[in-house]
A and B are shown apart, each in its own frame.
Chain A
Amino acid sequence: MHLILSSVAIQLLCGITVLFLRRNSRFTSGVGAAGPIVACVIGLIPALKTLSGIANNPIHASWNMPLGTISLGLDGLSALFLLPILGLGALSAIYGIGYLRPYREHKSLNTSWFLFNTLGASMAMVVLARSVLLFLLAWEVMSLSSFFLVAFEREKKEAREASWVYLIATHLGTSFLLAMFLLLGQNSNELDFGQLGGLTPGLAGLCFILAVVGFGTKAGILPFHVWLPEAHPAAPTHVSALMSGVMIKTGIYGILRTLSFLGPPPPWWGFTLIGIGLISGVVGVLFALAQRDLKRMLAYSSVENIGIIVTGIGVGLLGISIGSPALAALGFAGSLLHVVNHAMFKGLLFMGAGSVAHGTHTRKIDHLGGLIKRMPWTATAFLVGAIAISGLPPLNGFVSEFLIYIGAFKGAASIGNGSSIALLAVIAGLALIGGLATACFTRAFGIVFLGEPRSEHPKHAHESGQDILFPMILLAGGCFAVGLSGFGIIRASASALAGIIQPIANNGLDPAAIRAEIFFAADSLRSFTYGALAILGLIALIALLRKRLLSGRIIRQAGTWDCGYIQPTSRMQYTASSFAQPIIDLFNVFQHERKRFKPPQGYFPATAFFETKTLDTSQEGIYRPIFEMVGRTLSKLKVMQHGRIQLYVLYIVLTLIVLLFWKLR
């Protein structure tokens, strides 16, 4: 506990120190980045101990403060979320050193590093808090610090708008959380997590919905995701990596923590989460496919992955409510592991995107191309991330998806009633998401890094510096390591997983059965990993064979086969938009593509253009009308605002009098 607290304290300390340094002095970035790095080194020890079951009794501490008791705790669930918070925090900080260097001239890096440290500390605090007040305080600090970080380039209009959208969305979400905690805390006067709950089934259901909406807004599930594709691209890359990889996961943490207060889950909770998860997954990846901005695409792909995580939780909840340890264990294990995995590859991909933007000064996918020759390290790391996020072996993405799949297969085979229909939806949905993710990331990698440059931007690209590449290579290595040792990790954390599932199941399942299921999955995953290793081995063998075959033969270089067309130019290449167009057209139910075009006319056509824009259905269909209505209504209140100070004083006096009467009533 001391270690974990000091890790939080160090971040705060470094954050404050950096504020007092001279503006953009030589030490600013060093001190600023030191906070998350040291915090990671110190904090990972207790987190890993808790997860591996060495420190198996959850640590709990509380102090009496003037405003009530403040308590902290570290159990399996907190520890699991601490891993990405601390790990990716440290790597993003290293990345940030290099990434922020060009901004030295005209930006205060001190503030940025202060906020970065605050964000890291507050996220850690969110998962450690065990009393409602502290939790909400940390939650709010997290939201605000990330809001200011998004507004880092506030001279740009998009960044300003994005940060406002984010601020409004996150506070709307928080308002649901306040209502939820009020309901949850009605039976206790201390608002300590231990005393929450004890609700009637009806109220528990209401709390569940409030939690899904409130925490779901932070997590970015459909249709509350609208802030995500605005805010993540606008933030500096190391921040968007942290936000997309880790911060949105605090929403998942919140849902899981809340579930443990709510008593035994009825089946409809599981069905709801599976439905929401699959829709978020499919629609998220479809929107990702339609994006032209590299970082915006990654932001939408976060919606997709949150969808997979939520689906896994749904499968787990369904397992608890129908009493199937296989479903419960594998659903939760898969989604929790995906939390960590997604942090790794999404962090990696964001860093890759940042490195591309750094080298070429553009994020437009259709303007890039051929970067693999100019930025070989970035390209390779991005490729690793792309394979991982498509859920393909031998990288880490498949491990978590495999667990959810196996859970759904086992469940569908053994249950055989209405619930199994939901599991079929999970199998079909995950398969569709996987296929579309492959489409999405072959497009991203293929158009950005392969082929010929499509504009002037990538022609002058240069590889990024070591401090930008180092975290990426580390994360890519991590993707391999988790992919190949996933079975061992699951086996080692079986007890911790059982410990996480137990409170949610209200002790309704036998922990031994849960462990047995996880061991079963770990065994089958081990064989699976052997298969993946066999692929790697065969690749090496065939590559050797190929080398032998080609040695001494004539190997020529020529232009790409152009099917007889003379003088192909790089602008004739397939673009990202044309690559995605058939899929977008096919799924036009979910998204609206606005097309404007003027076809070429006559024998010597002068002007012709074609323009498409894919709009976010939920933004256009739900939020815009609502906010416009609110805006219209509120604009009527403008009459109150006329700039005469006397009248403002009158308002205050009137309010006080009304309040007085109300109290004396």
Chain B
Amino acid sequence: MNAQSIVYSASALLFSPLLLGVINRVKAIFAGRTGQPLLQTYYDLSKLFRKGAVYSTTSSWVFRAGPTVGLASVLVALAITPFGRVPALLNFPGDLLLLAYALGLMRFFTVIAALDTGSAFEGMGASREVQFSALAEPAFLLCLAALACKTQSLSLSTIISRMNFGLWAKDGPALAMIAVAFMAVLLAENARMPVDDPTTHLELTMIHEVMVLDHSGPDFAFILYSASLKLWVMGALLIGIILPVRTGNILLDFPATLLGMIALALLIGVIESVMARLRLLRVPQLLVGAGVIAVIALILILR
């Protein structure tokens, strides 16, 4: 644990809602609108934190615990995610599994909190969530395995710090495929466009949004904040892979990675603007495809 990691973690806590703002802004520009302010997510959060709450008479403590457990899990996930060359607060061999498990715990509680309301819509969202995440999980772990094999390390911080342009020159195709597969997983896990539609209010087509329909007040703020942190965590990993600026000067590397994150948000915004949501039957194909691409990357690396 060092000062850089602490500074980085604090900046992640601070900047992560900005990503959602950037994405929404890009979408607005594509649609020819002015769009909401970049800082809208912050306004939403502060408003929600100041509100009371409404609970369904059907729900139990599980419903109230869901957002809390989710936020706690994603905070730990953040603590093991490196940012470019800056190591994570917590790093040890095998921490890549903790990342997968922490996100798994978050998902488990989001799903049962949704089922706790007894609403058919939320049940539908929960059912889709577990289906798609069960398919995204192998792809995610295969990507991590490919990176671990490439860099001979089991710790995310070491893996990302060992990425550099030389590696890309040597093993470009494999790394590119990992990045593509990871991007698909990122979009699916963060309820982004070709998989889920974060803006629609037609409950029948949504996944993540519909699961949190009943939450309100601070609970909903936790959910919103967890979602932006989760996007940050997975985005930081992806940027760590595809933008390995490692000059050694922290004042140069850190802003480069930060710019990478903004660029990623722009990219997601563009994807959301130009793509339609896939039919639900096609989503498994996308995720299995991501897994298959990760396998090919692994075969290339292991050969």
A contacts B: CB pair < 8 Å: yes
Interface residues in chain A, defined as those with a beta carbon under 8 Å from any beta carbon in chain B: 369-370, 372-373, 383, 387, 390-393, 398, 402, 405-406, 408-410, 412-414, 416-417, 420-421, 424, 427-432, 434-436, 438-439, 442-443, 445-447, 450-452, 520, 523-525, 527-528, 530-532, 534-536, 538-539, 541-543, 546, 549-550, 553-563, 568, 570, 572-574, 578-583, 586
In the assembled complex, how far is the CB of residue B150 from the closest CB belonging to chain A, in whole angstroms? 9
In the assembled complex, how far is the CB of residue A291 from the closest CB belonging to chain B, in whole angstroms? 16
In the assembled complex, how far is the CB of residue B271 from the closest CB belonging to chain A, in whole angstroms? 24
Residues A542 and B120 in contact, CB atoms below 8 Å apart: no
A430–B115 alpha-carbon span in the complex (Å):
26
Interface residue? B273 (CB, 8 A): no
Residues B111 and A392 in contact, CB atoms below 8 Å apart: no
Interface residue? B142 (CB, 8 A): yes
Q: Which of B6-14, B28-36, B126-134, B232-240 contacts the other chain?
A: B126-134
Interface residue? B52 (CB, 8 A): yes
A406–B145 alpha-carbon span in the complex (Å):
10
Q: Which residue on B lies nearest to A405, using beta carbons?
A: B97
A387–B214 alpha-carbon span in the complex (Å):
23
Residues of chain B within 8 A of A443, CB atoms compared: 130
Residues A427 and B104 in contact, CB atoms below 8 Å apart: no
Q: Which of B88-96, B166-174, B241-249, B253-261 contacts the other chain?
A: B88-96
In the assembled complex, how far is the CB of residue A438 from the closest CB belonging to chain B, in whole angstroms? 6
Residues A554 and B52 in contact, CB atoms below 8 Å apart: yes
The one of B57, B90, B299 that contacts A531, using a Cβ cutoff of 8 Å? B90
Tell me the interface secondary structure of chain B in the complex. Answer: helix
Residues B123 and A560 in contact, CB atoms below 8 Å apart: no
In the assembled complex, how far is the CB of residue B133 from the closest CB belonging to chain A, in whole angstroms? 6
Q: Offer 7 A-B interface pairs, CB within 8 angstroms, sorted by A.
A: A392-B108, A406-B154, A451-B117, A532-B98, A560-B119, A563-B203, A578-B124
Given A452-B58, A556-B54, A586-B284, answer yes or no on A431-B138 (Cβ-Cβ < 8 Å). Answer: yes
Residues B295 and A428 in contact, CB atoms below 8 Å apart: yes
In the assembled complex, how far is the CB of residue B113 from the closest CB belonging to chain A, in whole angstroms? 9
Q: Which residue on A lies nearest to B48, using beta carbons?
A: A549
Residues of chain B within 8 A of A542, CB atoms compared: 68, 71-72, 222
The one of A431, A442, A562 that contacts B119, using a Cβ cutoff of 8 Å? A562
Interface residue? B53 (CB, 8 A): yes
The one of A436, A442, A524, A541 that contacts B126, using a Cβ cutoff of 8 Å? A442
Q: Which residue on A lies nearest to B141, using beta carbons?
A: A431
Tell me the interface secondary structure of chain A in the complex. Answer: helix
Residues B95 and A531 in contact, CB atoms below 8 Å apart: yes
Given A539-B68, A546-B219, A561-B119, answer yes or no on A432-B142 (Cβ-Cβ < 8 Å). Answer: no
Given A446-B116, A447-B115, A539-B72, answer yes or no on A420-B123 (Cβ-Cβ < 8 Å). Answer: no
Residues of chain A within 8 A of B295, CB atoms compared: 424, 428
Given A406-B97, A413-B148, A553-B53, answer yes or no on A560-B138 (Cβ-Cβ < 8 Å). Answer: no
A409–B131 alpha-carbon span in the complex (Å):
25
Residues of chain A within 8 A of B142, CB atoms compared: 424, 427-428, 431
Interface residue? B275 (CB, 8 A): no
Residues of chain A within 8 A of B98, CB atoms compared: 393, 528, 531-532
Residues B145 and A424 in contact, CB atoms below 8 Å apart: yes
Most buried by B among A424, A443, A559: A424
Residues of chain A within 8 A of B136, CB atoms compared: 435
In the assembled complex, how far is the CB of residue B229 from the closest CB belonging to chain A, in whole angstroms? 12
Residues A369 and B118 in contact, CB atoms below 8 Å apart: yes
A19–B224 alpha-carbon span in the complex (Å):
63
Interface residue? B112 (CB, 8 A): yes
A409–B140 alpha-carbon span in the complex (Å):
14
Residues A428 and B141 in contact, CB atoms below 8 Å apart: yes
Residues B62 and A372 in contact, CB atoms below 8 Å apart: yes
In the assembled complex, how far is the CB of residue A48 from the closest CB belonging to chain B, in whole angstroms? 28
Residues B213 and A557 in contact, CB atoms below 8 Å apart: no
Given A432-B138, A555-B54, answer yes or no on A402-B94 (Cβ-Cβ < 8 Å). Answer: yes
Residues A439 and B72 in contact, CB atoms below 8 Å apart: no
Given A424-B295, A555-B55, answer yes or no on A586-B95 (Cβ-Cβ < 8 Å). Answer: no
Given A553-B52, A558-B56, answer yes or no on A398-B101 (Cβ-Cβ < 8 Å). Answer: yes
Query: How many residues on the B side are at the interface (Cβ–Cβ under 8 A)?
Result: 86
Residues B118 and A409 in contact, CB atoms below 8 Å apart: no
The one of A409, A546, A561 that contacts B154, using a Cβ cutoff of 8 Å? A409
Residues A570 and B118 in contact, CB atoms below 8 Å apart: yes
Residues of chain B within 8 A of A549, CB atoms compared: 49, 217-218
Residues of chain A within 8 A of B116, CB atoms compared: 446, 450-451
Residues of chain B within 8 A of A446, CB atoms compared: 111-112, 114-116, 123, 126
Q: Which of B75-83, B176-184, B191-199, B262-270 contacts the other chain?
A: B75-83
Most buried by B among A393, A451, A541, A586: A451
Residues of chain A within 8 A of B53, CB atoms compared: 550, 553, 555-556
In the assembled complex, how far is the CB of residue A381 from the closest CB belonging to chain B, in whole angstroms? 14
Residues of chain A within 8 A of B122, CB atoms compared: 574
Residues B118 and A524 in contact, CB atoms below 8 Å apart: no
Which 9 pairs show the lowest CB-CB distances between chains A and B?
A: A574-B123, A435-B134, A446-B115, A451-B118, A527-B92, A538-B72, A439-B130, A553-B52, A554-B52
A546–B55 alpha-carbon span in the complex (Å):
14
Residues B75 and A434 in contact, CB atoms below 8 Å apart: no
Residues of chain A within 8 A of B128, CB atoms compared: 582
Q: Which residue on B lies nearest to A387, using beta carbons?
A: B108
Residues of chain B within 8 A of A560, CB atoms compared: 56-59, 117-119, 214
A402–B102 alpha-carbon span in the complex (Å):
13
Residues of chain A within 8 A of B69, CB atoms compared: 535, 539
A67–B284 alpha-carbon span in the complex (Å):
62
In the assembled complex, how far is the CB of residue B153 from the closest CB belonging to chain A, in whole angstroms? 8
Contact with A along B219-233 (1 / 0, CB 8 A): 100100000000000
Residues of chain A within 8 A of B100, CB atoms compared: 431
The one of B55, B107, B115 that contacts A557, using a Cβ cutoff of 8 Å? B55
In the assembled complex, how far is the CB of residue A631 from the closest CB belonging to chain B, in whole angstroms? 40
Given A424-B298, A553-B217, answer yes or no on A534-B76 (Cβ-Cβ < 8 Å). Answer: yes
The one of A420, A438, A447, A535 that contacts B102, using a Cβ cutoff of 8 Å? A535
Residues of chain A within 8 A of B84, CB atoms compared: none
Residues B79 and A436 in contact, CB atoms below 8 Å apart: no
Most buried by B among A370, A443, A536: A443
The one of A424, A538, A563 that contacts B76, using a Cβ cutoff of 8 Å? A538
Most buried by B among A413, A427, A541, A556: A413
Residues B97 and A402 in contact, CB atoms below 8 Å apart: yes
Residues of chain A within 8 A of B111, CB atoms compared: 438, 442, 446
In the assembled complex, how far is the CB of residue A330 from the closest CB belonging to chain B, in whole angstroms? 11
Q: Which residue on A lies nearest to B291, using beta carbons?
A: A428
In the assembled complex, how far is the CB of residue B69 from the closest CB belonging to chain A, in whole angstroms? 6
A436–B76 alpha-carbon span in the complex (Å):
23
Residues of chain A within 8 A of B200, CB atoms compared: none
Residues B214 and A406 in contact, CB atoms below 8 Å apart: no
Given A439-B130, A439-B131, A561-B213, answer yes or no on A524-B93 (Cβ-Cβ < 8 Å). Answer: yes
Residues A574 and B115 in contact, CB atoms below 8 Å apart: yes
Q: Which residue on B lies nearest to A416, using beta carbons?
A: B302
In the assembled complex, how far is the CB of residue A220 from the closest CB belonging to chain B, in whole angstroms? 22
